[in-house]
Amino acid sequence: MSTESAVAGATTIGPGPRVVAIGETMAMMRSGTVGSLAHLPSVDISLGGAESNLAIGLRRLDVPVAWVSRVGDDPLGTRVTREIRAEGVEVHCAIDPTRPTGLMIKSRPTGTTTRVDYYRAGSAASALTAGDLPTGLIEQADVLHLSGITPLLSPTAHATNVAAVQRAAAAGTLVSLDVNYRSRLGSREHLAELLGEILERVDILFGGPEELSILAPGVAEDDHRGLLRALAVDGRQVVAKLGADGGAAVAGAAVPVGGHASLAGGAAVPTGGEIVEAPGHRVAVVDTVGAGDAFVAGYLSAQLDGLDVPARLARANACGALACTTPGDWEGAPRPADLDALLGGGAADPVSR
């Protein structure tokens, strides 16, 4: 098995990566027009994956970032690594000669709906192991970013996440987790069990209310403030992605009952913590897939820039909104000039209201 890394052909710009993201990126086939794939004559080829979407979003915001994964020894794997590297992301990717690159197919059956089908069982990334984590990479970063997708791919992929978190905790690297639940990969209960193994070491937790409720089942899905308070333990930041309604966040001040592990059962006693909320932006929506990843990239970049929680949410909301105005999972991730234009610092407003 060969490996593409910072030593062997990856693009490294400026200092070492401040953020390390680990997870599967798939080749993507997507329809360019509205209609069922049962009838459309052609599709375009791109790529998509929550962690690489985030990595690209961070890099466009001038944050040095690395992505760790596996792809197959096939043309689609070559395309995945080439595209991510072209965005300035530092690539650490094993080339698996026996397993294929995962595939996702995205279509628009109607003008108002999007369908995504995954073909990732037995993919190269499902065979991720702790041995795929480069020595020193996590330890030298400010943030390790993971998602709830990877642990559902396979037991070894889950073990890779656990090993990465252990290394981050030992080095004092912050751990960021986006729940990013994919129902086709496993049940909510199974994901809660897997994430419960690392939750006590998560410093920044992201998710939609329905995702956060996986980790606090005693709180109603539509009570995002209750979910924030229940999960904000011992200084942990919890950030709720509220879609068109924007976002909300709280820095932890809850006291767990019986230790951190009890969070998976919803047993936490809230003791305070100011909840900050920020409204979303009205935009002409083209494609919402990937907007949550752009939101997280905006929030993390603002934290790394030393901004306070309201400013982090403001940037996150702007990034999520702009991502919705362009087709594709990552192509619409904004650059600083795009944010300036949306937030009033530029001459032109790229958003239709």
Tens-place pLDDT, residues 23-61: 999 999 988 788 988 888 888 899 999 999 999 999 999
- Report how far Cα 343 is from the mean position of its chain's Cα atoms: 23
**The three-state (H, E, C) secondary structure of 39-89, written as one string:** CCCCCEEEEECHHHHHHHHHHHCCCCEEEEEEEECCHHHHHHHHHHHHCCC
- Total domains in the chain come to 1
Residues identified as active-site = 293
Residue 350 lies in a domain: no
Q: What's this model's pTM, rounded to 2 decimal places?
A: 0.87
Distances (CA, A) of 17 to 31, 58, 62, 66, 211: 34, 11, 11, 6, 28
Please write the tens of the pLDDT for every residue from 193-248.
999 999 999 999 999 999 999 999 989 999 999 999 999 988 899 999 998 899 99
Please write the tens of the pLDDT for every residue from 247-276.
999 986 433 333 333 333 333 333 347 899
Strand partners for 266: none
**Residue span of the structural domain in which 154 resides:** 2-338
Decide: 102 and 124 in contact? Cβ < 8 Å.
Answer: yes
Return the CATH number at 123: 3.40.1190.20
Residue 351 lies in a domain: no
Residue 345 lies in a domain: no
Residue 347 lies in a domain: no
Residue 72 lies in a domain: yes
Residue 346 lies in a domain: no
Tokens standing for 310? 């309201």
Residue 22 lies in a domain: yes
